[in-house]
Structures are given as C-alpha cells and as structure tokens.
Amino acid sequence: MTNADLSSAAPRRLTFAIVCEEPFRLFFPLAVVAGLVGTLVWPLHFIGWVTWYPGVNHARILTQGFFGAFMIGFLGTALPRMLSSPRLTGPEVGLLFALHAALIVAHALARTTVGDAFFLALLGVLMLSLGSRVLRRNDVPPPGFVLVGLAFLCGAGGTVLALMQERLEDRFFWLYLRPLLQFHGFILLPILGVGGFILPRFFGLPNRHDFPESRTPPPGWMRQALWALVVGGAILVTFVIEAQGMPRLGSGLRFLVSAGYLYWQVPFLRSRVRKSSLAFALRIAFLLLPAGFLAVALFPTYRVALLH
C-alpha cells in the first residue's frame, strides 16, 4: 500500500465543516447527555439534592432533549442528501445546538416554561432550515416523511398548549390532549415514518419508499404519501378520543393503526430476517412499540408504566 493509499484510508479529521454536513456527530452525543440528565433527576430527587418533583421535567428532557436530538441529528444529516439539496450551514447548526442545550439546562433547573419556549423556537428553526431544503430540492423525500411533518405539528401544538396551561386549567380535554401531542405524537409519528423507510434494508425486504430520483413526485409516490397522511390523521383522532375520556378505546385504536402500518411497510414477521444482533433488536423493538398501546388498552391502571 502506497503513502497515497494510506492517506486516503485514514479517517477524516473532525472539523466544524464536517459537523455541519453531518450534524448527527454533534447531536447524537448531546442526546446521550440529555438521556443521562433526564434519568439522573430521579435519584438526585430521592437523595434530596433535587427538591422539586422531577416528573414533569423528566418527561420533557427525554422527549424534547433525548429524542429531539436524535431527530435533529438524523434529519439534519440525511434529509439534505435525500433531497440532493445544500447541507445545513454553520449558523443553522450552531443555533440549533444552542437552543437544544438551553432547553435541557432549563428543564434540568425546573424552568419548565423557559424550556418549552426554547423547544418551540428550536422546532421553528428546524422547520425553516429543512423547509428551505425542500424548496431547493432536486429529489423528493420519502413519502412516509409526511408523518415527520405531522410530528413537528404535534410537538409545536402540544408545547403551545403547555405554555397556555394556566388558561386551560378548567378544560380537561385540552389538558389531557397536550401530553398526547407533546410526547406521544412527537415520538410515535417519526418512528413510523422513518421506520418505514429505513427498516426494510435491515430485513432484506422491498422498500415501498424507494423511488427514482425526481424533483416532482414520481408515479406511486402520492399514493404512499396519502396513506401515510391517513395513518397520521387516524393517530391524531385516537388522541382526541382518549382526551374525550375514552383511554381504552383510544389506545386500542392506536395499536391497530400503528401495528397495521408497520406490518404493511415492513412485514418482518413473514420475512427471512437477517441474522444480526441489530436486526433482532429492531424486530423486538418494533413489536413492543404497538404492543404497549394494546397493553394500556387492556390494563389502563398501569398506563404510565406500560407506556415507558
């Protein structure tokens, strides 16, 4: 092997330009930090170092901080490439990182309103950054990413309701709907949308979201996007049903919708799963995800534990 070969084979030096091209390198480690912080508030509370009840902020750190960082890192890296559009810029990545770190710190200090405001600003910046790439695209995104857009709306809508909570104290419906949008919708919808695109390659299955490169939707794309929109709308309806005081019915319907969509997109139960630990773990995870909703419908008394 020549010196030139060794030079080309050597790992690239991590620079800020590379981080902007691949922001997962910045946000995935930040997600780990958020997960640790969100978990540690409980033992710190029980030993008396954290005097406030951490339940409210624990949920936000793990949803907005932990899951949010993975979402930013993945979409910020993958979506511009899928669209054949420009990568994120330094100011965009820097602003996203600052807002995300600020919301983690705010929630860790029990400044819930401040943390929610930072999260709402974070979603706004992220949607503007990715939206500008959609407008400048040379290819269409996977049709299942319609669910990712609905997740942004759920996260923003739930956060707005949280910021207006004092005005909603006497309205059970809105108080119940808020966490369903803010936590469940913000997490479940992207998993369904992105999972339908990524998972088939782990199970050796045909990918329903794989279309030839085209700036306009190719044949079949609109049908897949419409189905994703219908599924997302049905999940939002289950939130409304549950907020109306019918948690068993809402969770049961959510199980049927999410399990049906996953099995339609990735029928791994009747496929020859590749023999790898990652494929096995993914199979178990995506079996347990809808199973949690079924368990809640059957045993609503243990709802919080089963959803965890």
User: What was the pLDDT predicted at 12?
Assistant: 61
Model pLDDT for residues 71-112, shown as the tens digit of each residue: 999 999 999 998 888 899 999 999 999 999 999 999 999 999
Q: How many CB atoms lie within 10 A of CB 247?
A: 16
Average pLDDT score over residue span 207-218? 81
User: What was the pLDDT predicted at 199?
Assistant: 78
User: What was the pLDDT predicted at 8?
Assistant: 46
Instruction: Determine whether 303 is exposed, middle or buried from the number of CB atoms within 10 Å of its CB (0-12, 13-18, 19+).
Output: middle
Q: How far apart are CA 196 and CA 212, in angstroms?
A: 17
pLDDT at residue 221 tops 80:
yes
pLDDT at residue 6 tops 50:
no
Confidence of residue 1 (pLDDT cuts 50, 70, 90): very low
264 or 233: which leads in pLDDT: 233
Q: Which residues of 118-134 are buried (b: 16+ CB within 10 A; e: fewer)?
A: bbbbbbebbeebbeebe
Model pLDDT for residues 177-204, shown as the tens digit of each residue: 999 999 999 999 999 988 888 877 777 7
Confidence of residue 121 (pLDDT cuts 50, 70, 90): very high
